[in-house]
């Protein structure tokens, strides 16, 4: 059967019906828009305002001709209108509505037809206004608004697509939902807020001094009760049409309000702050969703960096706080006892995901505000069962480390994340946790979708992985601490030790003997103040830039120079880089220094798998260095790198190849043969911040510069990178 949108009949010519008619009249695939309303004046106004082409004087005749029948009458009237028009509908007619509830409308259709017509597709635009009537209609009302369609199991694809395209051509974003789910979601997001606004306005109006109250009412009252100006009849109908979901939401809200009341009554300041900070974070998250952005808009507008070739660089610069330490500071502070203040916290998409996960686990966290975060620790046994799934976004560090902590809880945790996160491999982490007795429900792809609460405490293990990882180490430490059991861990290679260093400040010492780490039983963390140093990975990018550009001298200030993070600096040193650490000090157990770096002639080197293992996410910078050095470099043991680093390696190599760098592949290793880099082409950093910096440096060394797509992730973790790079003489431009 073929469905069309040529002739549209709108029944109910009010705000929504009128807006739909106006928007439809502008579309090339619509020839005729006819209106019908019980109220004759609305029809006449509709013609006068050119909302419709004509009025349906003979409803039966119009229904017989209509390709689309849109019911835009109050919810309560929909069944009556459907029953009236049912006998006259064309077989290929699309019959739809805009009613705010859906289950009742589908039930009504079931009462009217023994076999519901193929073209019957209920819908609901999430758009509107407090005004009613055709005079208030607006052709742009649905622009960038969502329209939810609730097709039936029997709805043909062609019918659904035709209707979806009609709404889309009006500028709407079309979604599909189960009718029951639609009514539940709308009860929470639209119906409850309207009822609260009505109730507040009504309650205040009932006060004896209501006139005074309204006269002095400030913006808060005005904003909150704006929707109480909505049409009472419409909301009356919605309440009864969606009775059960609305009652459930009122009950939940009543419970929340009672908790708020109790916190005020008993002077429970922590509880009150908890409610407010969680609410504020949710509101902010909501705004980001509205703007279609992630925690830091990391997935929104694409960003491209245009880099010019550079000559001598000079001056000072400072890079943002360390990402690894930012995560760990939140995690440890959350399970410490007391209030921890964190300074220099980097607001990356990933570190914000860590904060949100702990908020969902009942930890009160204030900030981040200009790098400051205050965490009200709940102790190792104080986490609470989250109300819904814990969302980790794209943050592999947060998820991997916290799986250890969650595995030791007495409640189940449901885990959600980006599709990228869900495709990664977790075997190396789940294996030791399972040895400790942790249980997980895995997706078909091996993603831990649920951490199952154990019947018993986790048991201690002695663990010696083939290939050590700082995140697995962190997860095992957190799992052991939360279960109150000892841990003995043997590291086959050195991994980042930020967790251990931070823990010392929280009062828990890990004994280390050579490559073996031991955690004693009964460790408890005490809150502390934490100053996060600048990120050495970002700093290393400028060390590399300074090395490659002649007549250059740069100082990168106040950088964390933890020896377990210096692998890249060490390799660059072997390649001939000239740098020195000045003004050395320490903070929270982390060594800090200014890095002074001079131009040098870098030469190719060979790197062993152990050296590569210590590089982590700095790998792109090493590849950039090798591509711009003199002579061939070789990386061995690349097949032993963790999967995500192998993926990163492949992506970088393919970008470098486009620049003429020769990549020779051997079993388990790769040779990089540099060539003079002409540039002048477009590359992609694939939203990896360090890869973006690495390509930026290749760009400044090239003869014609580079355009680098996929740099949004860099902006999110290092927002001022363009300003900092320009300060030392790098010419670059951000587009997007």
Residues lying near ligand NAD in the complex (CB under 6 A) are found at: 11-17, 37-39, 42, 72-75, 77, 80-81, 98-100, 125, 128-129, 132-133, 231, 234
Catalytic, out of 617, 618, 639, 684? 617
Alpha-carbon span 269 to 255, nearest angstrom = 19
Contacts of 386 (CB under 8 A, 6+ apart): 360, 361, 362, 413, 414
CA distances from 519 to 433, 469, 485, 524 (A): 16, 17, 8, 11
User: Measured from the CB atom, is 146 or 570 closer to ligand NAD?
Assistant: 146
- The answer to whether residues 547 and 597 touch, using CB atoms and an 8 Å cutoff, is yes
How many angstroms separate the CA atoms of 642 and 668, rounded?
Answer: 13
Q: 122 or 125: whose CB is closer to ligand NAD?
A: 125
* Residue 446 beta carbon to ligand NAD: minimum distance, rounded to whole angstroms: 43
Q: Which is nearer to ligand NAD, 147 or 365 (CB)?
A: 147
Cα–Cα nearest to 566, from 600, 545, 532, 537: 537
For ligand NAD, give the closer residue by CB, 21 or 717: 21
Task: Encode 332-347: b = buried (16+ Cβ within 10 Å), e = exposed.
Answer: bbbbbbebbbbebbbb
> Please, what is the minimum distance in Å from the beta carbon of residue 16 to ligand NAD?
4
* Coil/strand/helix, residue 18: helix
User: CB count, 10 Å around CB of 12?
Assistant: 26
Tokens of 33: 């828009």
DSSP symbol at 123? E
End-to-end CA distance of the chain: 44
CB nearer to ligand NAD: pick between 70 and 335: 70
Residue 141 C-beta: closest distance to ligand NAD, Å? 9
- Beta 32-36 vs 372-378: how paired, if at all? unpaired
529, 339 contact by CB (below 8 A): no
Q: Does the annotation count 639 as an active-site position?
A: no
Cβ atoms 11, 70 nearer than 8 A: yes
Q: How far is the CB of 113 from ligand NAD (least distance, A)?
A: 19
Query: Sheet harboring 337-343: ordered strands across?
Result: 364-369, 372-378, 337-343, 529-531
Return all residues near 118 (Cβ < 8 A) that are at least 6 apart.
Answer: 1, 91, 92, 154, 155, 156, 159
3-state secondary structure 424-489: CCCHHHHHHHHHCCCEEEECCCCCEEEEECCCCCCCCEEECCCCCCHHHHHHHHHHHHHHCCCEEE
CB of 170 to ligand NAD, least distance (A): 14
**Residue 189 vs 381, nearer CB to ligand NAD:** 189
Sheet holding 173-176, edge to edge: 123-125, 146-149, 173-176
- Smallest distance, Å, CB 31 to ligand NAD? 23
**43 or 556: whose CB is closer to ligand NAD?**
43
Min dist. Cβ of residue 238 to ligand NAD (A)? 6
Q: Rank residues 77 and 275 by Cβ distance to ligand NAD and give the closer one.
A: 77
List all residues 6 or more positions away from 203 whose beta carbon is below 8 Å from its beta carbon: none
To ligand NAD, the closest distance from the beta carbon of 144 in angstroms equals: 15
Distances in Å between the Cα of 684 and the Cα atoms of 418, 478, 482, 591 are: 20, 37, 42, 34
Report d(CA 245, CA 243) in Å as an integer. Answer: 6
In the complex, the smallest distance separating the C-beta of residue 39 from ligand NAD, rounded to whole angstroms, is 4
- Is the C-alpha dihedral spanning 160, 163, 166, 170 positive or negative? negative
Give the angle 300-683-559 at the CA atoms, nearest 5°: 75
Nearest distance from C-beta of residue 231 to ligand NAD, angstroms: 6
Please, which residue, 168 or 297, has the CB nearer to ligand NAD?
168
CB of 238 or CB of 429, closer to ligand NAD = 238
Active-site residue list: 617
């Amino acid at each position: 059967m073929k469905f069309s949108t040529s002739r549209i009949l709108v029944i109910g010519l009010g705000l929504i019906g009128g807006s739909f008619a106006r928007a439809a009249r502008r579309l090339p695939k619509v020839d005729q828009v006819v209106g019908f309303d019980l109220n004759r004046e609305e029809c006449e106004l509709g013609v006068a305002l050119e909302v419709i082409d004509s009025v349906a004087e003979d409803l039966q005749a119009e229904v017989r001709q209509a390709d689309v029948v849109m019911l835009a009458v109050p919810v309560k009237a929909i069944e009556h209108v459907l029953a009236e028009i049912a006998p006259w509908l064309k077989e290929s007619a699309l019959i739809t509505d805009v009613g705010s509830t859906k289950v009742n409308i589908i039930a009504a259709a079931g009462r009217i037809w023994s076999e519901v017509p193929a073209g019957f597709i209920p819908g609901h635009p999430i758009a509107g206004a407090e005004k009613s009537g055709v005079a208030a209609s607006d052709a742009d009302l649905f622009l960038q608004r969502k329209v939810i369609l609730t097709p039936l199991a029997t709805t043909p694809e062609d019918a659904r697509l035709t209707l979806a395209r009609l709404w889309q051509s009006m500028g709407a974003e079309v979604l599909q939902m189960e009718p029951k789910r639609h009514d539940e979601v709308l009860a929470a997001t639209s119906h409850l807020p309207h009822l609260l606004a009505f109730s507040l306005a009504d309650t205040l109006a009932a006060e004896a001094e209501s006139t005074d109250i309204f006269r002095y009412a400030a913006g808060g009252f005005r904003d909150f009760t704006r929707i109480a100006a909505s049409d009472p009849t419409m909301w009356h109908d919605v309440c009864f049409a969606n009775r059960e979901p609305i009652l459930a939401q009122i009950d939940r809200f009543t419970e929340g309000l009672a908790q708020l009341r109790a916190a005020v009554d008993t002077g429970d300041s922590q509880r009150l702050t908890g409610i407010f900070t969680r609410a504020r974070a949710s509101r902010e998250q909501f705004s980001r969703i509205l703007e279609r952005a992630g925690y830091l808009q990391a997935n929104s507008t694409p960003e491209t960096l245009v880099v010019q070739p550079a000559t001598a660089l000079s001056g000072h610069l400072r890079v943002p706080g360390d990402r690894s330490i930012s995560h760990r500071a939140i995690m440890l502070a959350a399970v410490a006892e007391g209030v921890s203040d964190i300074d220099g916290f980097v607001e990356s998409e990933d570190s914000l995901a860590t904060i949100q996960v702990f908020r969902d686990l009942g930890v009160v966290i204030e900030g981040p505000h200009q790098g400051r975060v205050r965490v009200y620790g709940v102790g190792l046994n104080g986490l609470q069962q989250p109300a819904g799934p814990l969302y980790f976004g794209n943050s592999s560090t947060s998820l991997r480390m916290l799986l250890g902590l969650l595995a030791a809880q007495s409640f189940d945790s449901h885990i959600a994340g980006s599709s990228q996160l869900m495709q990664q491999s977790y075997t190396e982490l789940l294996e030791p946790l399972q040895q400790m007795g942790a249980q997980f429900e895995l997706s078909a792809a091996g993603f831990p979708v649920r951490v199952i609460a154990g019947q018993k405490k986790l048991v201690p293990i002695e663990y010696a992985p083939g290939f050590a990882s700082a995140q697995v180490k962190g997860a095992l430490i957190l799992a052991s601490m939360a279960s109150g059991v000892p841990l003995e861990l043997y590291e086959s290679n050195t991994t980042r030790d930020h967790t251990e260093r931070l823990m010392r400040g929280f009062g828990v010492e890990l004994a280390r003997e050579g490559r073996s780490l031991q955690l004693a039983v009964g460790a408890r963390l005490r809150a502390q103040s934490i100053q996060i140093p600048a990120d050495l990975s970002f700093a290393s990018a400028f060390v590399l830039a300074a090395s490659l550009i002649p007549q250059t001298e740069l100082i990168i200030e106040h950088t964390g120079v933890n020896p377990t993070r210096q692998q890249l600096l060490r390799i660059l040193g072997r390649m001939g880089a000239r740098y020195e650490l000045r003004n050395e000090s320490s903070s929270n157990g982390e060594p800090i220094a200014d890095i002074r770096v001079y131009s040098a002639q870098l030469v190719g080197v060979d790197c062993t798998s152990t050296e590569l293992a210590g590089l982590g996410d700095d790998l792109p910078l090493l590849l950039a260095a090798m591509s711009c050095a003199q002579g061939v470099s070789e990386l061995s043991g690349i097949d032993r790198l963790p999967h995500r680093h192998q993926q990163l390696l492949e992506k970088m190599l393919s970008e470098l190849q486009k620049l003429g760098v020769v990549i020779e592949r051997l079993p388990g290793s790769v040779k990089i043969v540099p060539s003079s880099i002409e540039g002048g082409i477009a590359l992609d950093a694939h939203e990896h911040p360090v890869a973006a910096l690495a390509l930026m440096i290749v760009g400044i060394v090239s003869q014609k510069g580079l355009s680098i797509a996929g740099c949004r992730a860099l902006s999110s973790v290092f927002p001022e990178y363009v300003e900092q790079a320009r300060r030392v003489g790098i010419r670059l431009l951000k587009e997007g």
